[in-house]
Structure 1
Amino acid sequence: MSDDVRIPIGEALPGFALHPLEAGWTPLEAFVLIKCLDEDGGHSWSFRTTNPLNLEELLGALTVQVEVLRQKLVSQWDDEE
């Protein structure tokens, strides 16, 4: 399937559910990271997007998420000691 073809999220990821947005929020763009099993049973990561994303905004959002994840992991590591 071409990278230009878009189908509804429910069709692209049947059976999956997402946390809802806050009341009154309107979705504009999405970047979805998906852990998959390939045809040979191997694990692989893939991502899918909605409309072409603003790359600067996406980089900023991913950078923030990486820092939040890093802090959570460090906190869990500190809690184990």
Structure 2
Amino acid sequence: MIGAKARIIISKSVLLSVGGDIGGFGIGNSSDLSYNFTYGNSFKVSKLLLITAGYRSLKYNRTDGSGEDELHTKVSAYGPFIGVSFVLS
């Protein structure tokens, strides 16, 4: 997997983040293709509480075996997400 992530601090209470990775390419025993893309907005609500809302797109494609024993696995997941984090430091 090869990826990158960037965070942009807008203010003391707002953080934007974007990240992604891609890999597999059928090398060795890996997936045929896999990628993940995430975008998020984080808002610091208090000293200890952070709320993040964003979007994620994930795809995984793999083929195992051959002939009659071939098994093809394909996973796609995408859509909005929301999360809560507790800041302990």
TM-score (normalizing by structure 2): 0.27
Structure with the largest fraction of helix: 1
User: Which has the higher Rg, Structure 1 or Structure 2?
Assistant: 2
